[in-house]
Amino acid sequence: MKQTILLTAACALLALPGRAQLQDAVPANPDNEPVPVHPVPSHRQQVWQETEFYAFFHYGMNTYTGVEWGYGNEAESTFAPTGAPDPEQWLTAVQAAGMKGGIAVVKHHDGFCLWPTETTTHSVKNAGNDYGKQTNIPRDFAAAAKKLGMKYGFYVSPWDRNSEHYGTDKYVSEVFLRQCAELAQYGTDQFEMWFDGANGGDGYYGGRNTTVSVDRETYYDIPNLRDSIHKVCPDCVMWGVGGEARWIGNEDGEAGETNWCTENRGSAPEKNGMYGSENGWFWLPGESDAKMTNQGWFWHDGESPLTAARLFQMYLETVGRNATLILNCPPDKSGKLPNATVGVLNQLGTLLRNRFATDYAKQATIEASATRAAGASRNYGTSNLTDDDKDTYWATDDGVKEATLTFTWDEAKPLRYVELMEFVPKGQRIRGFRIETTADGSTWTKRGGSIQTTTVGYKRIIPLNGSTANSYGAAINAKGLRITITDSKACPLLRKIAIY
């Protein structure tokens, strides 16, 4: 009955004389914009992906016990920093390396909370010294990030080996969800919450000393949690269990050369993490977590940082392969990053700045074999490739899935890298391309060695000499470089091309 009344009302509305005017007021597609290729990213996923390269800070009870996974029975007094933990020092050091933000572990699997939570006594409130008692990592981390103009987020472990309630509904509603809510008091502009996949197993559990198994898909009431977090923190991507970004699946800082931002949510991330799925139903971009030191996630005595050259290679194999890179930099017992770590982060920053200093695409004459017809207030010309505007892009007409972009210079330029970015708000499209250079203007040589030039996605960086490990060898001197898109799901849309 209700439906009949609604339908009748709708028919009456359609018959109103104003209807034709309404249609005229919204003409079809004045800007001749390409239709999206679904799935497409949400606004918060777009904002998140722009962060590209950020830090992980594993610091907490394990820093003082020397283990990677605390059992949950550690005395609170064991947390006794030898100085005041200093998130501003952490973030300043990673900013120098070119990182745009960071995620601080505020509770690991051992359950010890690095802020004065109301949900448990297992927190800094009962730490072993004054430095410990005054510690409040989420508060100081968020404040430092805001001061430095960086993004921030928190890692709060769903698995809690300390809580007597773990495994029951009470843990979820009165401990875990409340902890997530408490963290929002330190800032609602968090860009990512890390919900780790390690869940359930043996632990102290308030003295039960037992094994608890949970089904992580259902136990944490994730849809409800996701909705509640988004109401308070609208740009916060929920990683992992939260289902908004996927684990690349190795912890080596290596994404697949072919890497789709699309995935089927049911697929085990462990299986397909490096590559995504070309025909995935969800926008689920990859994040690669990796360590910048040679031991665990937490600081261990005798640990040393990897070289800046190795970290640069990780950057090429993650950010340069359509993934984000979250690089772990563990503070030591003083609550600060050691000098050796800070030194390597500085060197990495210098490498990134120097190697991507001069963008020769901006000095080139650019010709396209095809360009989409302009609309009333938007054009799709090649100047959009080099204007540093993330909202403009070069495109071809609908149905044109192959095209060549040719960059030429009067004088030869020393070239090493090509960076490509698709305009992903309308979906990831490109599935094949080729890069060639010419020294004399007539003979073209394929570049990139045996690297698969399949997907582009948000960002792809191709070392022209074909090696991510030794990408900064002799430059290729060229008077021309051309990129041929050989296959695309629909007309290709490129937001940026840079040539270094």
Q: Which residues bind ligand FUL (CB under 6 A)?
A: 68, 196-198, 289, 297
Smaller CB separation from ligand FUL, 112 or 297:
297
Smaller CB separation from ligand FUL, 39 or 296:
296
* Rounded least distance, CB 156 to ligand FUL, Å: 11
Smaller CB separation from ligand FUL, 326 or 483:
326
175 DSSP 8-state letter: I
* Rounded least distance, CB 122 to ligand FUL, Å: 18
Tokens representing 45 are 């996923």
Buried b (16+ CB within 10 A) or exposed e, 309-323: eebbbbbbbbbbbbb
* Rounded least distance, CB 72 to ligand FUL, Å: 14
* Rounded least distance, CB 164 to ligand FUL, Å: 21
Smaller CB separation from ligand FUL, 289 or 332:
289
Tokens representing 207 are 């003295």
Q: Parallel, antiparallel, or unpaired for β 394-395 and 493-499?
A: antiparallel
Tokens representing 164 are 């007597």
Tokens representing 102 are 């960071």
Smaller CB separation from ligand FUL, 68 or 164:
68
Q: Parallel, antiparallel, or unpaired for β 210-212 and 365-368?
A: unpaired
Smaller CB separation from ligand FUL, 131 or 297:
297
How far is CA 136 from each of CA 103, 194, 328, rounded to the nearest angstrom? 15, 18, 20
Widest distance between CA atoms in the chain: 80
Could you check whether the bond before residue 39 is cis, i.e. omega within 30 degrees of 0? Answer: yes
Smaller CB separation from ligand FUL, 216 or 496:
216
* Rounded least distance, CB 159 to ligand FUL, Å: 8
* Rounded least distance, CB 161 to ligand FUL, Å: 11
Cβ-contact 489, 261 below 8 angstroms: no
* Rounded least distance, CB 307 to ligand FUL, Å: 22
* Rounded least distance, CB 269 to ligand FUL, Å: 11
Task: Count helices and strands (H / E) in the chain.
Answer: 14, 21
Smaller CB separation from ligand FUL, 235 or 289:
289
* Rounded least distance, CB 332 to ligand FUL, Å: 17
Smaller CB separation from ligand FUL, 190 or 199:
199
**H or E stretch including 9?**
helix 2-14
SS3 category, 245: strand
* Rounded least distance, CB 407 to ligand FUL, Å: 40
How far is CA 45 from each of CA 8, 83, 226, 234, 384, rounded to the nearest angstrom? 41, 37, 14, 11, 23
203: nearest Cα among 172, 158, 269, 169: 158
CB-facing half-sphere around the CA of 297: CA atoms within 13 A: 21
C-alpha triplet 128, 132, 133: angle, nearest 5°? 90
Taking residue 223's Cβ as centre, other Cβ atoms within 10 Å add up to 10
Smaller CB separation from ligand FUL, 196 or 317:
196
496: nearest Cα among 464, 462, 458: 458
| Region label for 431, one of left (φ > 0), alpha (ψ between -120 and 50) or beta (otherwise) | alpha
Closest residue by beta carbon to ligand FUL:
198
SS3 category, 450: coil
Smaller CB separation from ligand FUL, 69 or 186:
69
Residue 433 bridge partners (DSSP): 485
* Rounded least distance, CB 216 to ligand FUL, Å: 12
